Amino acid sequence: MLALYAHAARDLRLQDVTIADPGPGEVRIRLARGGICGSDLHYYNHGGFGAVRLREPMILGHEVAGHVTALGDGVTGLEPGDLVAISPSRSCRACEECLRGLPNQCLNMRFYGSAMPFPHIQGAFRQEIVADAAQCVPAAGLSPAQAAMAEPLAVTLHAVRRAGELLGKTVLVTGCGPIGALAILAARRAGAGRIIATDIADRALAFAREAGADDTLNTATIPDALAPFTAGKGQIDVLFECSGAQPALAGAIPALRPQGTIVQLGLSGDMSLPMMQITAKELHLIGSFRFHSEFATAVTLMQKGLIVVDPLITHDFPLAEYQSAFDTAADRAKAMKVQLDFT
Which pLDDT tens digit goes with each residue over 199-220?
999 999 999 999 999 999 999 9
Shared domain check, 229 and 125: no
Same domain, residue pair 214 and 258: yes
The whole-number pLDDT of residue 159 equals 98
| pLDDT on residue 333 | 87
Give pLDDT, residue 87. 97
Render pLDDT for 110-146 as a digit per residue (tens, 0 to 9).
999 999 999 999 999 999 999 999 999 999 999 999 9
In the prediction, which pLDDT does 332 show?
87
The CATH number assigned to the domain holding 166 equals 3.40.50.720
Note whether 88 and 102 are same-domain residues: yes
Please state, in angstroms and rounded to a whole number, the distance separating the CA atoms of residues 313 and 146.
Answer: 9
Contact 24, 327 (CB under 8 A): no
Q: Domain tally for the chain?
A: 2
Look at residue 32 and tell me if it is in a domain: yes
In a domain, 123, yes or no: yes
Q: Is the pLDDT of residue 163 over 90?
A: yes
What pTM, to 2 d.p., does this model score? Answer: 0.95
The per-residue pLDDT for 232 is: 97
Q: Is residue 299 part of a domain?
A: no
Residue 39, domain extent: 2-149+309-341
Q: Is the pLDDT of residue 191 over 80?
A: yes
pLDDT above 80 for 70: yes
Q: Is residue 304 part of a domain?
A: no
Residue 292 lies in a domain: no
Mean pLDDT value across residues 280-290: 96
Q: Report pLDDT digits (tens) over 16-27.
A: 999 999 999 999
Q: Is residue 294 part of a domain?
A: no
CATH for 334: 3.90.180.10
Split at pLDDT 50, 70, 90, the class of 303 is very high
Does one domain contain both 278 and 163? yes
Contact residues for 109 (Cβ-Cβ < 8 A; gap 6+): 89, 90, 91, 92, 117, 121
Q: How confident is the model at residue 268 (pLDDT cuts 50, 70, 90)?
A: confident
CA distance 196 to 229: 10
The verdict on 30 and 137 lying in the same domain is yes
pLDDT of residue 160: 98
Q: What is the DSSP string of 16-56?
A: E---PPP-TTEEEEEEEEEEPPHHHHHHHHHSEETTEE--S
State the average pLDDT over residues 35-54.
92
230 and 319, same structural domain?
no
Q: What is the mean pLDDT of residues 294-301?
A: 98
Does one domain contain both 18 and 115?
yes
Helix axes 38-46, 322-329, angle to 10 degrees: 100
Beta pairing, strands 337-341 & 313-318? parallel
- Do 132 and 183 fall into the same domain? no
Instruction: State in Å, rounded, how far the first CA of the chain is from the last one.
Output: 13
- Using the predicted structure, report yes or no on whether residue 337 has a pLDDT greater than 80: yes
Q: Please give the pLDDT value at position 50.
A: 80
Task: For residues 163 and 76, state if they share a domain.
Answer: no
Are 271 and 246 in contact by the 8 Å Cβ rule? The answer is yes
Q: Where residue 270 falls among pLDDT bands split at 50, 70, 90?
A: confident
Mean pLDDT of 261-273: 87
Closest CA to 187 of 288, 259, 271, 285: 288
Look at residue 271 in the predicted model and tell me its pLDDT.
Answer: 83
Percent of the chain topping pLDDT 70: 100
pLDDT at 269 over 80: no
Q: How confident is the model at residue 267 (pLDDT cuts 50, 70, 90)?
A: confident
Q: Is residue 159 part of a domain?
A: yes
Do 176 and 108 fall into the same domain?
A: no
Do 335 and 264 belong to one domain?
A: no
Task: Say what the pLDDT of residue 112 is.
Answer: 96
Alpha-carbon gap, residue 262 to 14, rounded angstroms: 40
What pLDDT does 168 receive?
98
| Domain identity same for 159 and 265 | yes
Tens of pLDDT along 226-260?
999 999 999 999 999 999 999 999 999 999 999 99
Average pLDDT, the chain: 96
Give the pLDDT mean for 184-203. Answer: 97
pLDDT at 34: 98
**Contact status, residue 340 vs residue 239, Cβ threshold 8 Å:** no
Query: Quick check: is 295 in a domain?
Result: no
Q: pLDDT-based confidence at 293, cuts 50/70/90?
A: very high
